[in-house]
């Protein structure tokens, strides 16, 4: 079996069969969940939280895997070992990273920040690499799959900001800078993919793209400080994620199908410890069978009125009790 065949990339789960109406009763029930756990609830979020900010996802209703079935992301071992794969990745990211960095937090991110500020949320673990939870004001955030904001040398471990690295790419590829400027003023926009990726026009060739080596060790190649498909969560991050679940009384899962095992195992840990697990996701998730309750509703419709309900102090604490 090839190494590629051992990496399960897609992990698509079912689209929603029904929609949970976001009624006053449902809003009060979710508010009661947070009140009942008295500041010891932990949030676990995924790509669905950032879709309203214009960041594409992989597995949602209009996700890249569903709409573009032939799309295949670069795998961890390809980026680490293959020059051609690094050219492909950095060429696509050269165009895609700026739009990704321009994304702004949406009302879901701000709702989580308010829940923490009001004392209803102990912390938040996110699978997203966009940094929008922190920008919205959440303070206790663990980025399970890393961040796009920096890059790391595979040789010596030296890190630098993605913005600095972008300037180095621009210096090495002046022709691509010219094309990027022309593209910015064109009515035809490339198709954006998740995680700062973008479809390149057919007249551009990956093999023409130049990427730099490390300025410290003068030999190592860089990769973003994110977990690619087929890669592993950093040991310290994995340990911290389990500690956060252990310390919490409940887990609120939002905007994720839990397809990646690094996230799903946290849900499984919570249920094995007898903790209350509430899932709010518009579509089937890997953890539906582990949930105390499941709401088939988009987070942007659910979270803001829940926060408003908590601000006004009204909820029925008998609802959504496992």
**Residue-by-residue DSSP string for 45-105:** E-GGGTGGGT---SSSTT-HHHH-TT--PPBHHHHHH-HHHHHHHHHHHHHHHHHHHH---
Cα 259 from chain centre? 12
Q: How far apart, in whole angstroms, are the C-alpha atoms of residue 224 and residue 32?
A: 40
| Catalytic residue, candidates 145, 218, 221, 242 | 145
Task: Round to whole Å and give the CA distance between 274 and 277.
Answer: 9
Q: In the annotation, is 145 catalytic?
A: yes
Rounded Cα–Cα distance for residues 91 and 102 (Å) = 19
**Three-class secondary structure of residue 192 per DSSP:** strand
Distance CA 8, CA 52 (A): 27
User: Active-site residues: which are they?
Assistant: 145
């Amino acid at each position: 079996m090839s190494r590629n065949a051992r990496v399960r990339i897609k992990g698509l789960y079912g689209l929603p069969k029904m929609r949970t109406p976001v009624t006053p009763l449902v809003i009060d029930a979710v508010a009661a969940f947070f009140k009942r756990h008295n500041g010891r609830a932990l949030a676990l979020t995924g790509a669905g939280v950032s879709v309203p900010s214009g960041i594409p996802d992989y597995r949602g209703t209009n996700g890249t895997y569903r709409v573009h079935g032939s799309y295949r992301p670069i795998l961890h071992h390809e980026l680490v070992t293959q020059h051609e794969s690094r050219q492909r990745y950095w060429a696509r990211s050269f165009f895609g990273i700026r739009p990704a960095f321009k994304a702004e937090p949406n009302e879901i991110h701000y709702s989580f920040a308010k829940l923490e500020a009001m004392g209803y949320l102990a912390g938040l673990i996110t699978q997203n690499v966009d940094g929008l939870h922190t920008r919205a004001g959440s303070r206790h955030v663990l980025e399970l799959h890393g961040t796009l904001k920096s890059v790391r040398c595979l040789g010596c471990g030296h890190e630098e900001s993605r913005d600095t690295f972008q300037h180095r790419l621009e210096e090495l590829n002046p022709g691509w800078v010219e094309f990027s400027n022309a593209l910015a003023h064109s009515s035809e926009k490339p198709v954006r993919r998740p995680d700062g990726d973008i479809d390149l026009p057919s007249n551009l060739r990956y093999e023409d793209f130049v990427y730099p080596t490390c300025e410290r060790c003068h030999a190592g190649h860089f990769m973003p400080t994110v977990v690619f498909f087929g890669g592993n969560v950093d040991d310290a991050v994995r340990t911290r994620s389990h500690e956060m679940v252990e310390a919490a009384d409940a887990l609120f899962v939002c905007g994720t199908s839990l397809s990646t095992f690094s996230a799903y195992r946290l849900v499984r840990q919570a249920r094995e410890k007898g903790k209350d697990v509430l899932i709010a996701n518009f579509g089937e998730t890997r953890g539906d069978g582990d949930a105390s309750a499941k709401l088939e509703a988009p987070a942007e419709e659910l979270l803001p009125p829940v926060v408003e309900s908590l601000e006004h102090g009204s909820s029925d604490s008998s609802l959504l009790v496992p």
